[in-house]
Amino acid sequence: MSGLITSDETTLIDLSIGLEDGVASEPTPPSIDAFDHEAGAKRLAETLQEQGYDVEPDDFPDGMGLAWEDVEAIPHAGTHLDAPWHYGPEVDGEPAKTIEEIPLEWCRGSAVVLDFRTMEPGEEIGVADLEDALAELDHDLSTGEIVLLQTGADELWGQPEYLTQFPGMSAEGTKFLVEQGVRVIGTDAYGFDKPFAAMGERYVESGDEDELWPAHVAGRAVEYCQIEKMANLDALPRKTDIPLVAFPIKIEDGSAGWVRPVAMLEGGAADGDGATDGADAETGGEAA
């Protein structure tokens, strides 16, 4: 992977969705208050005045200071990586890792994309579905491999339907992947489990507590992380052997951290179009 990182011929594909102010696809959307350069001059001047320095906004070159944003957001907004602590306080009797405790080694490696775009919203991805998808690729999972679930839900980003129109993982499917050495599982959907309404309906009908966030709760038995709200999996030119880095932001004692997964591929531009305006493929030596 080191050669891909430094090569000018490497194609970088952004597989993330960013933070957007008030977006309809987030139940708890970020709030982003932007300050332009003139407002920045005023605020910086006020800060210096509070420290005893006689500085006015007009004293800045061209009357412009520095632009910045005040952001209020939960760590589960935008593309993010959930830590085991998100699922419960323990994993198989041991303390669950918080986001800053996740080994970086888990978050980089070779990824495989399993295609579930033919499944209906609210359906559950089971072990047989995973086995069929792997057989379709003639692929055996290896320890440390990252599995990406392609549902196509990212095409709905920006719309309320993004929250409801996707299949979700089962507890058994989650355990199946982890037991084969997978530490990180990603999805291009809003959530890793089925949509809220699908889980609620199944729980009301059955009264079975196992219908509530079963894939997440599986993380109390097996240790893994999940990346939610990925995008642009259709921009990848192949489904296996995809070099991927996805390092999360460290938040003290955090249940999750924002992450920008980037695939690094040899040669020219990737096939396919980006699924969201904010997640276009970048090529050459540009930063991702």
For 69-126, how does the pLDDT look when each residue is reduced to its tens digit (9 = 90+)?
A: 999 999 999 999 999 999 999 999 999 999 999 999 999 999 999 999 999 999 999 9
Report the chain's terminal Cα–Cα distance, integer Å: 15
CATH number of the domain within which 195 lies? 3.50.30.50
| Strand-strand pairing, 168-169 and 124-125 | parallel
**121 and 8 inside one domain:** yes
* Residue 128 backbone phi and psi in degrees, to 5: -60, -35
**59 and 40 inside one domain:** yes
**49 and 146 inside one domain:** no
Percent of the chain with pLDDT over 90: 89
- Average pLDDT taken over every residue of the chain: 92
**125 and 86 inside one domain:** yes
Decide: 264 and 11 in contact? Cβ < 8 Å.
Answer: yes
Q: For the sheet containing 108-115, what is the strand order?
A: 256-258, 80-82, 225-228, 184-187, 146-150, 108-115, 242-245, 262-265, 11-14, 281-282
**60 and 84 inside one domain:** no
**90 and 165 inside one domain:** yes
**200 and 158 inside one domain:** yes
- pLDDT tier for residue 9 given thresholds of 50, 70 and 90: confident
Evaluate whether residue 176 is within a structural domain: yes
pLDDT tens for each residue of 193-241: 999 999 999 999 999 999 999 999 999 999 999 999 999 999 999 999 9
Domain count, the chain: 2
Evaluate whether residue 287 is within a structural domain: no
pLDDT tens for each residue of 156-182: 999 999 999 999 999 999 999 999 999
Sign of the torsion angle spanned by Cα atoms 108, 114, 117, 120 = negative
- CA 278 to CA 230: how far, in whole Å? 11
Report the pLDDT value the prediction gives residue 268, as an integer from 0 to 100.
Answer: 58
Evaluate whether residue 171 is within a structural domain: yes
Evaluate whether residue 81 is within a structural domain: yes
**93 and 108 inside one domain:** yes
Evaluate whether residue 284 is within a structural domain: no
**57 and 156 inside one domain:** no
Evaluate whether residue 24 is within a structural domain: no
**58 and 96 inside one domain:** no
Residues 6+ apart with CB under 8 A from 233: 15, 113, 148, 150, 154, 188, 275
Evaluate whether residue 161 is within a structural domain: yes
Evaluate whether residue 281 is within a structural domain: no
**90 and 195 inside one domain:** yes
Residue 125's domain comprises 2-18+75-267
Rg (CA), the chain: 21
Which residue matches tokens 């080994």? 103
**Structural tokens at position 70:** 């005040």
**219 and 185 inside one domain:** yes
pTM over 0.85: yes
Taking CA 84 as the corner, what is the angle to CA 79 and CA 90, rounded to the nearest 5 degrees? 160
